[in-house]
């Protein structure tokens, strides 16, 4: 009975070593296919791309190397954690007492009634406790006084031309008794 060795090697010990080397390379290749699949699941959200990466790794060794070059740098869990941290940081920043004057962008505190830079009125004070009130509040949260809602800000009245004595102005309308 004639035994043919791998690659035409007829030596028993050398033939066994070559077979073990081939088995080792096949096991490493299959491990790389599984590694590519597992790593793609941790880094890529799209199942189609996960399948493409796994299929590419079936090209012995080259597919896994190409995947390692083009894979995303971060794990999906790390991306989600970073996004949560950024959302939490933004929420902390908004809770700080850091506000800008809507007229001159000067930094003001939330309890300022007037801007110290442009001196424009930011909020109205409560008539009872003089604490600053938000324009949308119906009740002072500090002293429980009802806030009188003004339908519109009072405007300065201009004198009519007829009151100024301008002869070119039309005469005032009829006076009712």
Whether 2 shows a pLDDT value over 90: the answer reads no
7-26: pLDDT as tens digits: 677 777 888 888 899 999 99
Least reliable range by pLDDT among 9-18, 60-69, 126-135, 158-167: 158-167
CA angle 60, 64, 67 (to 5 degrees): 145
Phi first, then psi: give them for residue 132, nearest 5 degrees: -70, 140
pLDDT average, residue stretch 151-166: 48
Query: Which of helix, strand or coil describes residue 142?
Result: coil
111-148: pLDDT as tens digits: 888 899 998 988 888 888 888 888 788 888 888 888 87
- Give the pLDDT band of residue 101 (cuts 50, 70, 90): confident
Partners of 133 in the β-ladder: 124
């Amino acid at each position: 009975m004639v035994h043919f060795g791998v690659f035409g090697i007829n030596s028993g010990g050398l033939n066994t070593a070559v077979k073990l080397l081939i088995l080792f390379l096949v096991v490493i290749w299959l491990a790389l296919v599984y590694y590519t699949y597992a790593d793609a699941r941790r880094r890529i959200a799209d199942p189609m791309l996960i399948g493409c990466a796994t299929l590419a790794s079936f090209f012995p060794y080259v597919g896994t190397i190409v995947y390692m070059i083009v894979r995303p740098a971060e794990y999906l869990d790390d991306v989600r954690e970073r996004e949560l941290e950024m959302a939490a940081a933004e929420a902390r920043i908004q809770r700080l007492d850091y506000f800008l004057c809507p007229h001159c962008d000067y930094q003001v505190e939330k309890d300022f009634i007037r801007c110290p830079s442009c001196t424009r009125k930011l909020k109205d004070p409560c008539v009872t406790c003089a604490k600053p009130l938000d324009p949308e509040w119906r009740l002072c949260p500090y002293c429980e006084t009802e806030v009188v809602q003004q339908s519109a800000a009072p405007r300065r009245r201009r004198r009519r031309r007829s009151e100024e004595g301008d002869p070119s102005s039309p005469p005032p309308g009829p006076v009712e008794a």
